[in-house]
Amino acid sequence: MTSDRSRPYWMLCSAFGAGVVAFILWFATVIPTRTCSGPLPAGTSALLEYQLSRTPADIEAVFGPAGDPCREVMVGAMDRANTVDLVGFIATYCAFLACFFVALLRARGGAAARIGLAAVAVALAGDVLETSTQLHLTAALPGSAGALGLLAIGSRGKYLALAVVDACAGVGMAARGRIVGRLAGIVCIAGGVAVVAGLVHAPARPALSAGNAVAWLLILVYAMAASVRRSQVRGDRA
């Protein structure tokens, strides 16, 4: 159940979450599901492969060699997605996650909410670095060693921070109440683990996107449920 102190933030979280869903649906229409080297496994995308590129060979696998007609098309798709990411999506999803943790804090969420809020800030910084570096790289493929290093710092920092966000959200849900909240919390924590697995182990890469998607969906559903519950005299439980 939600209190008057936390309810406005659950509502804001729900609103920003709807915006996140809208962005994700748009991204699905513009991000290629294959690279210039060929098809990708289900659950990955050309943008994810670009984000996790570490060498000139990785970049060429995404964009093809110089002179390949696919390169121009891929550059256009990546630049379009990254521009929208930088000017709109990053701020929207960070606001969505930040409002969730602020609501938890106002509902006596404890250390998990504080750590989660700090992790959102780290994810924001990492994503801005990652996305701006990608826009720089497409102007001069395959990019310098320095630029690829910045891409590695930004993408790894972002995904590791989001794994912490997912885990903290799960702990916050599990600590606050009923069996449904506990189950949702456990799944969120598992989502964070999946993000790390996909980041460090290439064959598990589809788990990176799937783990984050499941955790964010549960965060949104939890916030929506909390925002419509009436405040009660005793504690905040959702």
Q: Taking Cα atoms as reference points, which of 65, 81, 72 lies closest to residue 134?
A: 81
Please give the tally of structural domains in the chain.
Answer: 1
Q: Which two tokens stand for residue 120?
A: 């959102």
Residues 56-102 have pLDDT tens digits of 999 999 999 999 999 999 999 999 999 999 999 999 999 999 999 99
- On whether residue 238 sits in a domain, the answer given is no
- On whether residue 54 sits in a domain, the answer given is yes
Q: Which residues constitute the domain of residue 126?
A: 7-228
Distance (Å, whole) CA 149 – CA 30: 26
Distance (Å, whole) CA 60 – CA 66: 8
Which position has the higher pLDDT, 228 or 204?
A: 204
- On whether residue 81 sits in a domain, the answer given is yes
Residues 154-199 have pLDDT tens digits of 999 999 999 999 999 999 999 876 788 899 999 999 999 999 999 9
Residue 106 pLDDT exceeds 80: yes
pTM of structure: 0.91
| Average pLDDT for the chain | 92
- On whether residue 195 sits in a domain, the answer given is yes
| pLDDT value of residue 234 | 40
- On whether residue 74 sits in a domain, the answer given is yes
- On whether residue 236 sits in a domain, the answer given is no
Residue 209 pLDDT exceeds 90: yes
Based on the number of CB atoms within 10 Å of its own CB, is 58 exposed (0-12), middle (13-18) or buried (19 or more)? Answer: middle
- On whether residue 125 sits in a domain, the answer given is yes
